[in-house]
Amino acid sequence: MIEASGLTKSFASRSGAVVEAVRGIDVAVRRGEAFGFLGPNGAGKSSTMRMVAAVSPVSGGTLRILGMDPAVDGPKIRARIGVCPQEDTLDTELNVRDNLYIYGRYFGLPRAEVRGRVEELLEFVQLTDKASAKVDDLSGGMKRRLTIARSLINRPDVLLLDEPTTGLDPQARHVVWDRLFRLKQQGVTLVLTTHYMDEAEQLCDRLVVMDKGLIVAEGSPLELIRTWSTREVAELRFAPTHEHGGDLAAIAPKVADLAERVEVLPDRLLLYSADGEEAIAQVHERGLDPVATLVRRSTLEDVFLRLTGRTLVD
């Protein structure tokens, strides 16, 4: 459905310097799968999505969407994909139904056909009751659902979702996930970006982790956890009154052999180990006496933080 090789995107910044947002990525999205782009802010996810949406021109490399070149067949490609952008682009002064109706017309669909699809989609995203409400009066979650409904008006082969649940409360996120899961079951190819690891684990069959414009890892959520983390993680906290004055960096060497990897955080030590309980038992045996311990399974978040670092990106 989507094939990119050596894909790059660069543009001139306000100061005139050339910014390389995407620095050569290879991606292949197959029919019917849910594919995710993960990465911190500025990793190049949105730039990639804008190219895949056949809106932003490719700077280098090749990109084929549904077998077509976006530089040649932009309108034809856009006719067959759905886009749910990060920021809503709804017409806030029109009502819910009109937003869907006019959008369907942009695709050149006959009026009667669009009217039918509008009612169907309102039902699908549970907005039938709000059909006559102005967009301005909708909650954030309702706007998101309307945006998703709008992106489906042309019955797309591929649905692109740029951070579909950012800013939503947990209830609204679960409703959106449920709808996206149903679409996936109907055979719609989903391509999404997110920085929520639970979202990626819930929805994606396969994903890539991007950092600084490059792909740093690729695989299913489970494969990524197996490759980049251990089965379990033991978390240890120590009291400030501990023998080393709570200096975790000084404690770390004493447990280094108990885990595949030890990570020192400001408030705790993380022991990446296949058996977390066993590691903690050993820690106690050595008389290190942590005040609190926790054993949990590795998540995609551990993978993500390992690959992209813990430093804040603005």
Partner 1 sequence: MGPAGSTTRLDVRRAARMTDYWWVAYRRTWRGSAISSFVVPLLYILAMGVLLGGFIKGDPDQLEGATSYLSFVAPGMVAAQSMTTVFGEVTYPVMGMIKWNRSYYGMIATPLGVPDIVFAHLGFVVFRVALVSGVFLAVMAPFGVFSSVPGVLLAFLVQLLIGLAFAAPLYALTAALKNESGFALVFRLGMIPMFLFSGAFFPVSNLDRWMEVLARFTPLWHGVDLTRMLVLGRVDASLALVHVAYLGGLAVAGWLLATRLLHRRLID
Contact flag: residue 91 with partner 1 (CB under 8 A): yes
Look up tokens 């120590």; give the residue: 238
* HSE-up (13 A, CA, CB side) for residue 47: 25
* CA 100 to chain CA centroid, nearest Å: 25
* Count of Cβ atoms closer than 10 Å to residue 162 Cβ: 21
Query: Which of residues 55 and 131 has its CB atom nearest to partner 1 in the complex?
Result: 55
Contact flag: residue 107 with partner 1 (CB under 8 A): yes
* Cβ at position 51, least distance to partner 1 in Å: 9
Contact flag: residue 119 with partner 1 (CB under 8 A): no
Query: Which of residues 11 and 140 has its CB atom nearest to partner 1 in the complex?
Result: 11
* Cβ at position 139, least distance to partner 1 in Å: 17
300-308 vs 221-228: helix crossing angle, rounded to 10:
60
Rounded Cα gap, residues 267 and 259, in angstroms: 19
Stretch touching partner 1 by CB under 8 A, among 64-72, 229-237, 249-257, 291-299: 64-72
Contact flag: residue 85 with partner 1 (CB under 8 A): yes
Quick one: residue 254, left, alpha or beta (phi over 0 = left, psi -120 to 50 = alpha)?
alpha
The candidate with the shortest Cα–Cα distance to 260, out of 228, 289, 287, 292, is 228
Rounded Cα gap, residues 1 and 304, in angstroms: 26
Binding-site size for partner 1 (CB under 8 A) equals: 37
Stretch touching partner 1 by CB under 8 A, among 95-103, 193-201, 235-243, 260-268: 95-103
- Residue of 38, 43, 53, 142 interacting with partner 1 (CB under 8 A): 53
Contact flag: residue 112 with partner 1 (CB under 8 A): no
- Residue of 28, 71, 222, 256 interacting with partner 1 (CB under 8 A): 71
* Cβ at position 81, least distance to partner 1 in Å: 8
Rounded Cα gap, residues 40 and 313, in angstroms: 7
3-state secondary structure of 273: strand
Contact flag: residue 313 with partner 1 (CB under 8 A): no
* Cβ at position 305, least distance to partner 1 in Å: 32
The CA dihedral of 309, 37, 226, 305, to the nearest 10 degrees, is 10
**Amino acid of residue 133:** A
Query: Which of residues 78 and 130 has its CB atom nearest to partner 1 in the complex?
Result: 78
Contact flag: residue 9 with partner 1 (CB under 8 A): no
- Residue of 68, 94, 197, 305 interacting with partner 1 (CB under 8 A): 94
Parallel/antiparallel/unpaired status of strands 158-162 and 189-194: parallel
Rounded Cα gap, residues 109 and 121, in angstroms: 15
Binding mask 140-169 for partner 1 (x = CB under 8 A): ----------x---x---------------
* Cβ at position 94, least distance to partner 1 in Å: 6
- Residue of 3, 20, 68, 79 interacting with partner 1 (CB under 8 A): 79
3-state secondary structure of 302: helix
Rounded Cα gap, residues 40 and 121, in angstroms: 32
Binding site for partner 1 (CB under 8 A): 11, 53-58, 70-76, 78-79, 83, 85, 87-94, 98, 101-103, 105-108, 111, 150, 154
